[in-house]
Amino acid sequence: MERCRLPLRQRENRRADRGILCAGSKAAPFTDSDGSGYSLAKKLGHRLIPVLPVLVQLQCEGDFFRSVSGVRADGEVSVWSDGTCIAKDRGEIQLAAYGISGIPVFQVSRYVSRLLYEKKSPSAVLDFLPDFTAEQTKAFLKARANTRPEKPASMFLIGLFHKKLSDLWVKMAGIPREKKAADLTEKEISLLTDLIKELCVRVTGTNSFEQAQVCCGGIDTREVDQKTMESLLVPGLHFAGEILDVDGMCGGYNLQWAWASGYAAGKAAATWTGMKNKSSDIPSE
């Protein structure tokens, strides 16, 4: 459906006792959510928390990503900064030429956006066998080599992982593709284990607001009444939705926030208007 836009000459200034600002964020600007609501709130004295794209793909360092672009694999992604695990999630990881995507990547992306904004250098660690410990993975690979001694390295992991991933790990481990599984050394098995369990890549950025599902940041919630969504700085002004510094994980939480905050703001504004109208009907003495 084509959006209706009034020519500037037909627009009018209106006065109101109550108003609700629910202009969205900067995510998905094709929906006309361009972030203009932030400037309105700022002009009215509200503080803005830096607005960043979240529930978004992550750009990673490494030319090898081009060779595995399009591969999907179950696994776990964890975000690290200064030796500390900041966040992690499990699910289907999608590999792309620019880096990583998929629901678990979206779930941890808000932490990456913040770290990058703070000029830090986060890393993402990909675990493609999260139900196995490193020791169990290594023992499993040794057993697999014993039961498939004639398999070349290029076919050793086929059936467990996508061939593009298998080829990548064999290459990164420096193992000749034609080498028989029975001839794999302890060191080579250990290298394969490390790559399967802890493929560490440096995150260099996120994809743009155009590809983000939502944003973190926005109007500081400390300046808004949590029950009525009314500004604590501008009486009569209410907020709702993503324009506020509220963002949730995948799973409908952001939609729920939009509906719940919209209901709270609308109910509060309508209640105030009803009470005003009622009081105006009482004759003065």
Domain boundaries, the chain: 14-51+222-263, 57-206
Backbone angles phi, psi at 245, to 5 degrees: -80, 70
Inform me whether the pLDDT recorded for 250 exceeds 80: yes
Asked if 116 and 81 touch (Cβ cutoff 8 Å), the reply is: no
Element (H, E) at 86: strand 84-96
Mind listing the pLDDT tens digit for each residue in 97-128? 999 999 999 999 999 999 999 999 999 999 99
57-206: CATH topology: Helicase, Ruva Protein; domain 3 (1.10.8)
Inform me whether the pLDDT recorded for 1 exceeds 50: no
At residue 32, the pLDDT reads: 79
**Structure pTM?**
0.88
Q: Give whole-number Cα distances, 80 to 113, 122, 123, 201, in Å.
A: 13, 6, 5, 10
